[in-house]
Amino acid sequence: MDKNTFLDFAKSFWLVISTIFVAFVLIFIFWFLIVKAQTDYLQKNEEYNVLASKRVGTIQINRDRGDLEALSQKLNDSFIDKDKFVKFIEFIEATAKDTGNSIDLSNISEKNNIQNFKIILGGSYPAEANFIAQLENSPYLVRLTNINMNKTFDSVSKTGYLKTTLDIQVQLP
């Protein structure tokens, strides 16, 4: 082999080796950048997921706050204050009439923000049971404390009817 051929071979060899070396350096740099980009992506994705869950939590809190405000308003409306006292008595009388009962309503006492009433109903058992159900499902905070049912007989009209005495408590604000 002559000297020029050897030099051409050496130049070509070093050129190929240099190109391979540069390619490995570039591959290593790109690999490093890809790993860094992947790490950054995973970190940003995790931050995004945390923020998204906080946003969903915030939306849920706002939704729950609205539900709680509605529930709070419903609870406040269920207390019988001086403005609603007449409406409550009208409700009791209308419910008795709608269920086919006669009614005698008397105020017993007020103590510790609780108003006690005595209600005397006259009617059939289904009518009185319906009245009690509507009273329990009313929008007011009402608690039945005593129920006493007696069957009575009217000797003049020769008919029997049920007489029920209810003691109820109404929570005042």
The pLDDT, as a whole number, for residue 113 is: 76
Q: Which domain holds residue 41?
A: 1-78
- For residues 105 and 50, state if they share a domain: no
Residue 70 CA: distances (Å) to CA of 63, 74, 76, 77, 101: 11, 6, 10, 10, 34
Tell me the pLDDT band of 157, cut-offs 50, 70 and 90.
Answer: low
For the full predicted model, state whether its pTM sits above 0.85: no
- For residues 94 and 167, state if they share a domain: yes
**Is 71 buried (19+), middle (13-18) or exposed (0-12) by CB count in 10 A?**
exposed
Q: What is the dihedral of CA 149, 151, 157, 158, to 10 degrees?
A: 170
- For residues 101 and 69, state if they share a domain: no
pLDDT tens, position by position, 61-104: 777 777 778 777 777 766 676 777 778 888 888 999 998 888 88
* 137 token code pair: 């499902």
- For residues 73 and 94, state if they share a domain: no
Q: How far apart are CA 113 and CA 34, in angstroms?
A: 72
pLDDT tens, position by position, 100-123: 888 888 877 777 778 888 999 988
Number of domains present in the structure of the chain:
2
Q: Which of 32, 51, 78 is the last residue of a domain?
A: 78
SS3 51: helix
